[in-house]
């Protein structure tokens, strides 16, 4: 039997139908920014212990709104990882700011604080690290850099839901944090959605206004800011509320699978396959990603045995056509380029059985043990 990378049965279809009926037949007929959205915001706010949580139309929208609420605009610089998802670069650019690309750690592939520190200038407005795959960025070091430089820290926790570093939840280290609920995330849902969480009530008020065309939620059709349409769906809010209680179990299953993989792969580094660092502190287990010297050969090996895998980010952000002209031509990002060549994710979703997880690990180890694994 094949093991797909993305499971075909992520969600309970009956639950989705139930919440569609619940919202669709409700007397108020409110499909966006209603009572369920407010309740969902309150649930995440209280769970994380932050001042406020503001639901948005997508994770990308949440990033853009948070940057705009921080005053980012033309002439400003936002330091972002050179390896990661496109919104890290596009969100500053749509506001007229310049993304400044910092290289990543060659093992964890999260942004390197030492590289960030070297890039801070008088034009830096925000430092925007991102958690990547199953590893959280070094938020204590980045917090120190941002505080010392007097700039804002925006934590892209799109993949980090449930992660904890040094006893502090992902999304709560920065002046604001951002989550994504797109389908395959750890708290994904069958639609688009995101959340800005913050300990700064004034920043939350600004985000809340910006997400709804600059309206304050009290006076309709009075626009205090030039805003956006990034509003949250009531059906999705109801769906997430129903599933929140079981999120810890799903996270624990992902973590257990990740720990098993790491224990199985601990001795493969000398054979061209590098696993993420061990442990649970600073981990999020959204995606379990290997760095393989012969990435394409490993992908083909797994595919030939019915095991799905996935390549993320095949080029560093400053080498993408959309962003290359905004990158400094005199700079290079060797660790990001290496990650783009070597990264391969294997299945880690909570629907995997123990037998499937063992089979996946067996095949990775079998590939590494062959003489061709060295290149």
Give yes or no for a contact between 179 and 187, defined as CB atoms under 8 angstroms apart.
Answer: yes
Q: Distances from the Cα of 366 to the Cαs of 264, 274, 292, 301, in angstroms? A: 11, 14, 14, 9
What per-residue confidence (pLDDT) applies to 292?
97
Q: What pLDDT digit, counting tens, does each position of 316-372 carry?
A: 999 999 999 999 888 999 999 999 999 999 999 999 999 999 999 999 999 999 855
Tokens 């600073």 — which residue? 282
Give yes or no for a contact between 207 and 69, defined as CB atoms under 8 angstroms apart.
Answer: yes
For residue 49, give both structure tokens: 């212990």
* Strands annotated E in 94-183: 98-102, 124-127, 152-156, 164-165, 168-169, 176-180
**Is the pLDDT at 12 greater than 80, yes or no?**
no
Q: Which residues pair with 212 in a beta bridge?
A: 229
Is 185 one of the catalytic residues?
Answer: yes
What per-residue confidence (pLDDT) applies to 375?
46
Q: What pLDDT digit, counting tens, does each position of 136-184 carry?
A: 999 999 999 999 999 999 999 999 999 999 999 999 999 999 999 998 8
What per-residue confidence (pLDDT) applies to 279?
92
Percent of the chain with pLDDT over 90: 84
What per-residue confidence (pLDDT) applies to 184?
84
pTM over 0.75: yes
Alpha helices in 100-246 (DSSP H): 113-119, 139-149, 201-210, 234-243
What per-residue confidence (pLDDT) applies to 336?
98
What is the distance between the alpha carbons of residues 231 and 58, in angstroms, rounded to a whole number? Answer: 8
Q: What pLDDT digit, counting tens, does each position of 272-304 carry?
A: 999 999 999 999 989 999 999 999 999 999 999
For all residues of the chain together, what is the average pLDDT? 94
What is the distance between the alpha carbons of residues 299 and 280, in angstroms, rounded to a whole number? Answer: 26
Q: What pLDDT digit, counting tens, does each position of 221-234 carry?
A: 889 888 999 999 99
Task: Kindly list the structural domains of the chain, giving each domain's residue range(s) and its CATH number in brackets, ordered by start.
Answer: 13-243 (3.40.640.10), 246-374 (3.90.1150.10)
What per-residue confidence (pLDDT) applies to 266?
95
Alpha helices in the chain (DSSP H): 13-24, 35-48, 59-69, 87-94, 113-119, 139-149, 201-210, 234-243, 247-265, 295-304, 334-342, 354-369
The residue annotated as part of the active site, out of 45, 185, 271, 349, is: 185
**Is the pLDDT at 66 greater than 70, yes or no?**
yes
């Amino acid at each position: 039997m094949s093991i797909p990378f993305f499971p075909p049965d992520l969600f309970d279809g009956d639950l989705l139908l139930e919440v569609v009926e619940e919202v669709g037949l409700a007397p108020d007929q409110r499909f966006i920014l209603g009572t369920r959205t407010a309740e969902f915001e309150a649930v995440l706010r209280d769970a994380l212990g932050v001042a406020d949580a503001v639901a948005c139309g997508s994770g990308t929208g949440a990033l853009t709104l948070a940057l705009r609420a921080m005053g980012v605009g033309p002439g400003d610089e936002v330091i972002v990882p050179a390896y990661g998802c496109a919104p890290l670069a596009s969100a500053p650019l749509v506001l007229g700011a310049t993304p400044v690309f910092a290289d990543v750690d060659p093992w964890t592939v999260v942004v390197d604080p030492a590289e960030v520190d070297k890039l801070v200038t008088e034009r830096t407005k925000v430092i925007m690290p991102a958690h990547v795959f199953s590893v959280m960025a070094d938020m204590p070091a980045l917090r120190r850099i941002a505080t010392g430089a007097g700039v804002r820290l925006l934590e892209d926790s799109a993949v980090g839901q449930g992660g904890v570093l040094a006893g502090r939840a992902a999304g709560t280290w920065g002046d604001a944090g951002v989550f994504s609920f797109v389908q395959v995330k750890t708290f994904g849902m069958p639609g688009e959605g995101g959340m800005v969480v913050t300990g700064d009530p004034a920043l939350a008020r600004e985000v809340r206004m910006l997400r709804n065309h600059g309206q304050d939620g009290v006076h309709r059709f009075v626009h205090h800011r030039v805003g956006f349409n990034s509003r949250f769906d009531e059906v999705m809010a109801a769906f997430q509320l129903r599933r929140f209680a079981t999120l810890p179990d799903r996270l624990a299953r992902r973590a257990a699978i990740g720990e098993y993989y790491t224990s199985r792969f601990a001795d493969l580094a000398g054979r061209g396959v590098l696993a993420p660092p061990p442990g649970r502190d600073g981990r999020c287990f959204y995606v379990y990603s290997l760095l393989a010297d012969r990435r394409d050969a490993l992908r083909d090996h797994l595919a030939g045995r019915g095991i799905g895998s996935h390549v993320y980010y095949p080029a560093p952000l400053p080498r993408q056509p959309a962003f290359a002209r905004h990158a400094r031509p005199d700079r290079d990002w060797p660790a990001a380029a290496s990650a783009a060549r070597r990264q391969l994710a294997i299945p880690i979703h909570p629907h995997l059985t123990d037998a499937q997880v063992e089979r996946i690990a067996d095949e990775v180890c079998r590939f590494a043990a062959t003489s061709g694994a060295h290149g």
